[in-house]
A and B are shown apart, each in its own frame.
Chain A
Amino acid sequence: MKADPQQAAAAPAAPAPATAIRRGPADLTLSFVNDATVRFTAAAAGDAEWLLADRLAGLAAFNALPIETNPLYTTYVDLRNAHLDEVRPYGTAPSVADDAAGAPLPDGAAAFAEVCENRVTALAMSPEARAGGLILETLETTRARDPKLLRELLEGGCALPENDKLAQMTRALWSAGLLLRIPDGLRLEKPVVLRHVVGTPGTAVIARTIISVGRDAEVSVLEEQVSSSTAPSGPSDPQAFFAGTTEVRIDAGSSLSFAGLQDLSLRQIAFQHRSAVLGKAASVRWALAQLGSRVIRSRIDNTLEGDGSTVEQAEIVFGSADQLFDLTSYTRHTGRDTTGNLLSKGALADKSRVYMKGLATIDHTAHGTDSYLGEFGMLLSRQARSVAIPSLEIDQPDCRRVAHASSVGPIDETQLFYLESRGLSPEEARKLIVLGYLEPVVARVPLESARERLRELLEAKWEARVVAPPAAAVA
């Protein structure tokens, strides 16, 4: 870097040149994670003693843990683009807008919760859902309504992974919280929509979402994480930070279809922790689309405890610019005859990168497991990068199937040729192939309107890539 002579002349007595501190790939400064902030957050929320203790236990774990505890993945941590020194959490529980309960439901939804920054702007339910006994409330409400339930749901870090530094940070400092409870036997046809709108520069939103599905129930959820209008966009804006959990417990015989759409801005950093613990014959279907954020670090923990339980997980990434998608998925089979079917797909333009780290663990007790793990990358530019680590740990030979597969390649020339022979321009053909490649997740999004919007977003992202390819990406 050249020194600016004018500046040098203006400040001759400067003690030392203000060079940026060199940051390692795992360096992350979160100056607000400390005892004072934890106590402030707890006091603001009026936490009971056990909850303060729980937060402090989270803080202690945060301080003790390295950024990545799994030695398999330590080389693939890169948080250099996350500049979080200046961000500050709201620290107080979100206020609920007066008309939140009367907010209009999105078309075809059974219930709707929307949290904009630190304000709950919608918390509404259809009459059918209400009649069925569905509960959708803030954890503030749960605290007042049933403090014992709150303790059951949260104490001990609940399903948050003990060895994850960032999950423990959320445990220590969460202030926004939602509870979705599906009572025994309720089968909701229409989806529940949960939306987080975040992104005011310099802020941190730290939120927990607890989903508890009773026995023989069925529900689908659409969770959206999107940018607020105040989200930072200029290069000089401070970044905004979002840390969110989805902690799911599904009791015997129940199923949850969960679609997640993350479309934050490129000045936002997001950490997601999703976990599901499954009872007997329970099932969860994750369909997750990762489009936004400068750096997104996501971790999913599936625990197949119940005999005959099933996880179907499909995650897509469409990266551009210098986005980094750091995706980890742990699936642990402990019950008998469980099924894990996990698929990750990344399409990467410009200088974007994806790390797809997956580990399927088959415990000694897990007779009759069927496990498949697939991680696939499609590189659309010379500078894109895909890392896949589809790992297996198998302690029980009596399995129906254990396999994993991975591939990385450019757009298939034969497919291109075929489409061009049908009259499409090369550009149209490429677009069609890429969107088709990501379609498996799009098709699983429950609401027609959300599906359409996701397709539009993907298309827009494709167009943006085409309009302004980075100079060096032209081969």
Chain B
Amino acid sequence: MASSAEIVSSEYQFGFHDEVEYLEETKAGLTRDTVEEISRFKGEPQWMLDFRLRAYAHFLSRPMPTWGGELANIDMSKIVYYRKPSQGEEKSWDDVPDKIKKTFERLGIPEAERKFLAGVGAQYDSEVVYHSVREELSKIGVVFMGTDQGLKEYPELFKKYFATVVPPEDNKFAALNSAVWSGGSFVYVPKGVEVPLPLQAYFRINAENTGQFERTLIIVDEGAKVHYIEGCTAPIYTTDALHAAVVEVIALPGSKVRYTTIQNWSNDVYNLVTKRAHAHANSTVEWIDANTGSKLTMKYPSIWLRGEGATAEVISVAVAGKGQHQDTGAKAIHLAPNTRSRIISKSISKDGGRTTYRGQLKVVPGATGVVASVRCDALLLDEGSRSDTYPYIDIQEDDTTMTHEATVGKISQDQVFYLMSRGLTENEATNLVVQGFLEVFTKELPMEYAIEFNRLVKLEMEGSLG
């Protein structure tokens, strides 16, 4: 691995896009040629091409998962697996559904940003923000760039960690991502550096087009600290049917990483994401994860506690409305002694939506002194909505202390009645109860995200009563 000094001193261009010639887009459907074409146009080293082809072979041989959400409607042959970044599809603002336009308005998103989010225009403000942030970061040696660029500029560091946390053979969609990945963030925080502001992928990715097969690699060196934020509260309008991202986080000894996601894809997207972190000795990894958008999300942020004294925390929130299925959860795999984990999951189903908590807690032999807790709460707001809970708890060490609790219920009418007696309308009262239910999540967000998220929930809740 390159020392931090090398990384700090190594030059990189402040360009927003790679210098390489991009192909416009591949043909629909996935063949070996597509994979080779993508790699060739990116000018990748041979090992990456080999990696992609290995992943492609595995993708072909791996059957579709038979559990989780309904995946039969995904037509792999209709998907365009690579499209030139920084150039959206030719779409017009008029084509953007009214519901999404209304949401932008209600969230208070600026005009220019709305167009970008809807995929019909570039967002210029964010480039300015991103530029100044990058200058700040480079002073302290923090690397924050596109993953393609990371591969070019930090080949050794990249190769050392890439796919070590999520190998292509992990699952079918990780294999797909590995074969055709493009975009995503590459982050390196040198030893002992505390990044003073959250790294917001939103501002960086806005300078390109949002990726369908993003690949994010975050390496946090010993004793360093960083907060990474992915996504935004605004709905991201896309015509892509499938979003299959892979996120890998490596928290080296004594480091602290928080990864916050607010996922709000438009309601026709299949969002099948593999997120996993390796937590080394005495490090802390936190996934703060919210899912309100997409047609189907299958995402279980995981933490493998590999080093003694590591700590894991997952706070996960899911809101499923009409036609949506949020199949989410968390995994904590305790591989070392005296590791701790805490999982909190909150879900809301309404208008016939379906939420599923699917989680795993595992303590392997030799991981002594583990303390773990899981708490899942689900709210069902109306008839026809549905909530499932599938926790897997596999304990193979006798001095583990593990507790798991789950409840499912509806909104307390007593609470609504009390609030109404204080002058709130039924809608306002219900809203407040829901916001209170989600507070464990909201309070972990930076202020502006929290405000927007509350607005979003309020918006989601509208019309769900009567």
A contact residues around B384 at 8 Å (CB): 364
Q: Which residues of the partner chain B approach A407 to less than 8 Å between Cβ atoms?
A: 402-404
B398 touches A394 (CB 8 A): no
Is the CB–CB distance between A402 and B407 below 8 Å?
Answer: yes
Nearest CB to that of A355 among chain B residues? B394
Q: Is the CB of B391 within 8 A of A394?
A: no
CA distance A72 to B403 in the complex (A): 20
A383 at the interface (CB under 8 A from B): yes
Question: What 5 A-B pairs are tightest by C-beta distance, nearest first?
Answer: A397-B380, A379-B398, A406-B404, A402-B408, A71-B67
Pairs A–B under 8 Å by Cβ, sample size 10: A379-B397, A382-B365, A394-B380, A394-B387, A404-B404, A405-B403, A408-B400, A409-B399, A410-B400, A475-B398
A384 CB contact (under 8 Å) in B378, B382, B398: B398
User: Hey, what's the 0/1 contact readout for B78-91 against A, CB within 8 Å counting as 1?
Assistant: 00000000000000
Is A279 engaged at the interface, CB distance under 8 Å to the other chain? no
Within the complex, the shortest CB–CB distance from B443 to chain A, in Å, comes to 24
Interface check B192, CB cutoff 8 A: no
> In this assembly, does B96 line the interface, its C-beta being within 8 Å of a C-beta of chain A?
no
**A452 on the B face (CB < 8 A):** no
A364: chain B residues at CB < 8 Å are 383-384
Q: What 1/0 flags go to B361-403 for Cβ under 8 Å of A? A: 0000100000000000010111111111111111111111111
Report the Cα distance A408→B391, complex, angstroms.
14
In the complex, A410→B403 CA distance in Å?
A: 12
In the assembled complex, B45 has its CB within 8 A of some CB on chain A: no
The answer to whether B32 has its CB under 8 Å from any CB of chain A is no
Q: Mark A402-420, 1 if CB is under 8 A from B, else 0.
A: 1111111110000000000
Q: Which of B1-60 contact A (CB under 8 A)?
A: none
Is A377 an interface residue when CB atoms closer than 8 A count as contact?
A: yes
A42 part of interface (Cβ distance < 8 Å): no
CA A405 – CA B403 in complex, angstroms? 7
Residues of B50-78 at the interface with A, using a CB-CB cut-off of 8 Å, are 66-67
Asked if residues B67 and A72 are in contact (CB atoms below 8 Å), the reply is yes
Whether the pair B394, A385 counts as a contact (CB closer than 8 A) is yes
Contact A409 B400 (CB under 8 A): yes
* Chain A residues numbered 398-443 whose CB sits less than 8 Å from any CB in chain B: 398-399, 401-410
A389 at the interface (CB under 8 A from B): yes
- Cα(A393)–Cα(B349), bound, Å: 13
- Kindly list chain B residues whose C-beta atoms are within 8 Å of the C-beta of A403: 405-408
Whether, in the assembled complex, A390 has its beta carbon less than 8 Å from a beta carbon of chain B, the answer is: yes
What A residues does B67 contact at CB under 8 A? Answer: 71-72
* Closest A residue, CB atoms, query B364: A385
CB–CB A408/B380 < 8 A = no
Q: CB-nearest residue of chain B relative to A379?
A: B398
Interchain CB contact under 8 A, B408 and A392: yes
Q: How far is the CB of B223 from chain A (nearest CB, A)?
A: 33
Chain A: CB-nearest residue to B406 = A404
B391 to A387, Cβ gap below 8 A? no
Would B395 and A385 count as touching, CB distance under 8 A?
Answer: yes
Known contacts A71-B67, A72-B67, A407-B402, A379 near B395 by CB under 8 Å: yes
For window 403-424 of B, CB contacts with A under 8 Å fall at 403-410
Q: Is the CB of A389 within 8 A of B390?
A: yes
List residues of chain A with CB within 8 A of the CB of B401.
408-409
Residues of chain A lying within 8 A (CB to CB) of residue B395: 377, 379, 385-388, 408
Q: Are A391 and B391 in contact (CB under 8 A)?
A: yes
Taking CB atoms, residues of chain B closer than 8 Å to A387 are 392-395
Does A71 contact B381, Cβ atoms closer than 8 Å? no
Contact of B406 with A392 in the complex, beta carbons under 8 Å: yes
Q: B170 CB to closest chain A CB, in angstroms?
A: 15
Tell me the minimal C-beta distance from A328 to chain B in angstroms: 14
Residue ID in chain B nearest A382 by CB atoms: B398
**B402 and A394 contacting across the interface, CB-CB below 8 Å:** no
- A403–B396 Cα distance when bound, in Å, is 25
Q: How far is the CB of B356 from chain A (nearest CB, A)?
A: 9
Residue tally, chain B, CB below 8 Å to A: 36
Distance, CA A393 to CA B401, complexed state (A): 27
A390 near B404: Cβ-Cβ < 8 Å:
yes
Closest B residue to A356 by CB, please name it. Answer: B393
Within 8 A of B (CB), among A422-475: 475
Q: Are B390 and A72 within 8 A (Cβ)? A: yes
Rounded to whole Å, the gap between the CB of B423 and the closest CB of chain A is 27
Chain B residues whose C-beta falls within 8 Å of the C-beta of A409 in the assembled complex: 399-402
Query: Given known contacts A391-B388, A397-B385, A409-B400, what 17 new A-B pairs fall within 8 Å (CB)?
Result: A364-B384, A379-B397, A380-B398, A384-B398, A385-B395, A388-B393, A391-B389, A392-B408, A394-B380, A397-B383, A402-B409, A404-B404, A406-B402, A406-B405, A408-B400, A409-B402, A410-B398
Which residues from chain B contact A396 at a C-beta distance below 8 Å? 383
Chain A 298-344 interface residues, beta-carbon cutoff 8 Å to B: none
**Neighbouring A residues of B396 by C-beta, 8 Å:** 383-386
User: What are the residues of chain B within 8 A of A401 when measuring CB–CB?
Assistant: 407, 409
Scan residues 78-121 of chain A and give those whose CB is less than 8 A from a CB of chain B: none
Q: Does A395 lie at the interface of the complex (its beta carbon under 8 Å from any beta carbon of B)?
A: yes
* Nearest Cβ on chain B to A149's Cβ, whole angstroms: 40
Question: Which of chain A's residues have a CB closer than 8 A to the CB of B385?
Answer: 397
- Cα A408 to Cα B397 in complex, Å, equals 10
Expressed in whole angstroms, the Cα–Cα distance for A375 and B393 within the complex equals: 10
| A340 → B minimal CB distance (Å) | 13
Residues of chain A from 338 to 384 with CB closer than 8 A to chain B in the complex: 364, 375, 377, 379-384
- Contact status B66-A394, CB under 8 Å: no
Contacts of B392 in A (CB 8 A): 387, 389
**Which chain A positions have C-beta within 8 A of B402?**
406-409
B82 to chain A, nearest CB (A): 33
Residue of B nearest to A387 (CB): B394
Complex Cα distance, B399 from A21, in Å, reads 36
C-alpha gap A443/B409 in the complex (Å) = 32
Residue of B nearest to A383 (CB): B365
* B67, B398, B408, B409, most chain A CB atoms within 10 A: B398
B393 touches A406 (CB 8 A): yes
Contact among A380, A382, A392 for B389, CB-based, below 8 A: A392
For B362, give the chain A residue with the smallest CB separation.
A387
Residues of B within 8 A of A385 (CB): 394-396
Report the minimal beta-carbon distance from B116 to chain A, rounded to whole angstroms: 38
- Residue of A whose beta carbon sits closest to that of B377: A403
| Beta-carbon nearest neighbor of B390 in chain A | A391
* Residues A394 and B408 in contact in the complex (CB < 8 Å), given A386-B395, A389-B390, A389-B392: yes
Of chain B, the residue at the smallest CB distance from A367 is B383
Chain A: minimal CB distance from B371 (Å):
10
Nearest Cβ in chain A — how far from B64, in angstroms? 12
Q: Is the CB of A406 within 8 A of B398?
A: no
Residues of B within 8 A of A391 (CB): 388-391
Which among A385, A392, A393, A408 has the highest number of chain B CB atoms within 10 Å? Answer: A408
Is the pair B404, A381 in contact by a Cβ cutoff of 8 Å?
no
Q: Are A389 and B391 in contact (CB under 8 A)?
A: yes
Contacts of B393 in A (CB 8 A): 375, 386-389, 406, 408
Interchain nearest-CB distance for B119 vs A (Å): 36
Give the CA-CA distance A396 to B409 in the complex, in Å. 10
A383 to B396, CA, bound (A): 7
- Known A-B contacts A72-B390, A385-B394; A397 and B382 likewise in contact (beta carbons under 8 Å): yes
Contacts of B382 in A (CB 8 A): 397
A381, B398: Cβ atoms closer than 8 Å: yes
B400→A379 contact, CB < 8 A: yes
Name the residue on B nearest A386 (C-beta).
B395
Indicate if the CB atoms of A397 and B390 lie closer than 8 Å.
no
User: Given the complex, which residues of B lie within 8 Å of A397, measured CB to CB?
Assistant: 349, 380-383, 385, 409-410
A399 engages B403 (CB within 8 Å): no
Q: How far is B381's CA from A168's CA once the two chains are assembled, in angstroms?
A: 40
Q: How far is the CB of B376 from chain A (nearest CB, A)?
A: 9
The closest CB in chain A to the CB of B355 belongs to A394
